[in-house]
Amino acid sequence: MSDNRFFKNDLPDGIDLGSEVAIDCETMGLDPNRDRLCLVQLSDGDGNVCFIQIGPGQMEAPNLCALLASPDILKLFHFGRFDIAILYHTFKVLCSPVYCTKIASKLARTYTDRHGLKDLLKEVLGLDIAKHLQSSDWGSPDLTPAQLEYAASDVIYLHRLKRELDIRLKREGRAALAEACFGFLPERAILDISGWRDVDIFAH
């Protein structure tokens, strides 16, 4: 298969994953204020994944944070709102610039309300991925090969997905709107963990 690498706590020095890096996080649950970050997966778009296992109470990961904050590296997420929030909460680093395949899908695929990664990969790329390990014990010190395979599937297709969604966004005249949404996404994530999670600040 591919050239996957597993690290504890941070990326090693001098790693280069290119100018577009797909990122996903596995956590103990869905509340960034309660549930700790356990695993960060990064992919360069060539099918290779770097896994970074995050320890309980860990608050620093300098090499990872440099990548997340780098203005020269576009970070690709699927529902980045959650990942950006948990990374900010854990490391006090704000991911930017970012791209979110879920937002792109919502703007481009208005004929459906199925914007989950599994549905998106199935329809847009014709790929079937298993999601049954989504809810598993990501805090375990010994992650299983099946868990890592699942975690990899959440990042290795995002570059291809972006390419296809960008074509559709352009076709429908919504590329600029998508760009503006991606630009605001980091601050939307800060609002989430600062008390405005369920508030639409644009509402009347």
Which residues sit at the interface with Mn ion, rule CB under 5 A? Answer: 24, 154
Rounded to a whole number of angstroms, the minimum distance from the CB of residue 174 to Mn ion is 26
What strands lie across the sheet with 37-43, from one edge to the other?
5-8, 49-53, 37-43, 20-27, 74-77, 98-100
Nearer to Mn ion, 136 or 172 (CB): 136
Rounded to the nearest whole angstrom, what is the least distance from the CB of residue 172 to Mn ion in the complex?
Answer: 28
Contact yes or no for 91/59 (Cβ under 8 A): yes
| Min dist. Cβ of residue 25 to Mn ion (A) | 7
Nearer to Mn ion, 146 or 177 (CB): 146
Are 41 and 65 contacting, i.e. CB atoms less than 8 angstroms apart? no
Q: Which one, 10 or 154, has the nearer CB to Mn ion?
A: 154
Extract the tokens encoding 173.
Answer: 């005249």
Cβ neighbours, 10 Å, residue 130: 11
**Cβ atoms within 10 Å of 133's Cβ, excluding its own:** 16
**Which of 150, 169 has the CB closer to Mn ion?**
150
Nearest 5°: CA angle at 29, between 182 and 32? Answer: 50
**What's the distance, Cα to Cα, between the start and end of the chain in Å?**
52
Alpha carbon 137 to chain centroid, angstroms: 19
Shortest distance in whole angstroms from residue 78 CB to Mn ion: 8
Taking CB atoms, the residue at the shortest distance from Mn ion is: 154
* Backbone φ, ψ for residue 197 (5° rounding): -55, -45
Q: Please, which residue, 49 or 169, has the CB nearer to Mn ion? A: 49
Name the minimum Å distance from CB 51 to Mn ion. 12
- Specify the residue, 147 or 169, whose C-beta has the smaller distance to Mn ion: 147
Shortest CB 20 distance to Mn ion, Å = 18
